[in-house]
Amino acid sequence: MARALWEISKSAVIKNVKEIARYSGKKIIAVVKANAYGHGVNLIAPLLERLKELEFFAVSCAEEGVALRLLGIKKPILLLSGFLKEELELLKKYKLTPVVSTEGELKEVIRRKIPYHLNIDTGMGRLGLLRPPYGLLKIFPPQGVMTHFSQADLDPDYTRKQIVIFKNLIRPLRVKYIHLQNSAGLSYKVDYANLVRVGLSIYGEFLGTPPQGLNLTFPSRIRAKIVGVRRLPKGRCISYGCTYRLKKPSFVGVIALGYADGLKRCLSNRLKVLYKGRFYPLAGSITMDLTAVVFSDTKPSAGEWVEVVFEGQRFGDLARLCKTVPYEMMTSVGNRVKRSLI
């Protein structure tokens, strides 16, 4: 009954986790925040739970961590964005491991003896302590320490500086886990860390060019049904604002996918979709629920599918058209697009 489908290959997702572990030589923190980057955490987390390469799941907040536990997830869960005071009882009840970024948070977890990871800000400028409070850490040491790269895909010198700063700051500490590489950070060798903290690469995408030897598989296909087809005359305007006029009499199909479903308006008159092995352009402004496609002399039928995202046209390709990042494209896909594992 679905009007739009997001199909995700189980084997491709599993292959990516194993490939990242092989390439990095480290175990994995699988980042499944924001509904597993839009893919459906209810599908992705149980799929990854059984993999020996996986050491932790990571989400943003306590609410997401609790949701994982209610799915039956047993692996350790990191809360990358820390916690609010009113969430402290949830951390204990659901065995959630917060990432601590302030001395105030640190004092709270020390007082309650809640296992935690310490976040050191080496250049991201978002969350984290500028320097470990070594005295406090002796009272109740962290289970792990982390930092976050701000531009691993853009500035190798800045990233290498972060790697060195972090190594020097954590030298006095004795912890079980050290992690700093995100997906783009896989391009850098960090011999003193023992985990990689990755999200985007699990889902087959990479900012920039993946390092040689890292072979990722794109797992996703998003399809939408054609809900109407008409033959319209030359010169006819298509959609709001009349941003597209037909150059000749053409069959115009309307697909059940709009900006409420994640097909962003910045793709209007720019993106092409795949129908029976051929590309056809979107025409006119993308609307909330529907988008027009010009099929020219080809006459499709209502109820047939077009492909919007697939191996040859990834989220990263859509992101470049909109001058944004694949993360935004993934997490924008709405709930009307039915997710399934295949």
Among 138, 234, 240, 247, the active-site one is 240
Q: Are residues 199 and 231 in the same domain?
A: no
For the residues 276-290, what does the mean pLDDT come to? Answer: 98
Asked whether residue 329 carries a pLDDT value surpassing 90, the answer given is yes
For the residues 77-85, what does the mean pLDDT come to? Answer: 97
Let me know: does 336 contact 4? Beta carbons within 8 Å: yes
Q: Are residues 145 and 199 in the same domain?
A: yes
Q: How confident is the model at residue 143 (pLDDT cuts 50, 70, 90)?
A: very high
Percent of the chain with pLDDT over 70: 100
Tokens encoding 28? 């994995």
In the chain, which ranges are E strands? 4-8, 27-31, 54-59, 77-79, 96-100, 117-119, 144-146, 177-179, 195-198, 220-232, 237-238, 244-245, 250-255, 272-275, 278-283, 291-296, 305-309, 338-341
- Write the pLDDT tens digit of every residue in 11-44: 999 999 999 999 999 999 999 999 999 999 999 9
Q: Are residues 85 and 29 in the same domain?
A: yes
Is 93 an annotated catalytic residue?
no
Asked whether residue 1 carries a pLDDT value surpassing 90, the answer given is no
- Write the pLDDT tens digit of every residue in 187-219: 999 999 999 999 999 999 999 899 999 999 999
State which residues form the domain around 326. Answer: 220-341
Q: Are residues 289 and 316 in the same domain?
A: yes
Give how many domains the chain has, as a whole number: 2
Among 26, 33, 225, 264, the active-site one is 33
Q: Are residues 175 and 256 in the same domain?
A: no
The CA–CA distances, whole Å, from 133 to 35, 145, 192 equal 34, 13, 21
Asked whether residue 78 carries a pLDDT value surpassing 90, the answer given is yes
Is 248 an annotated catalytic residue?
no
Percent of the chain with pLDDT over 90: 99
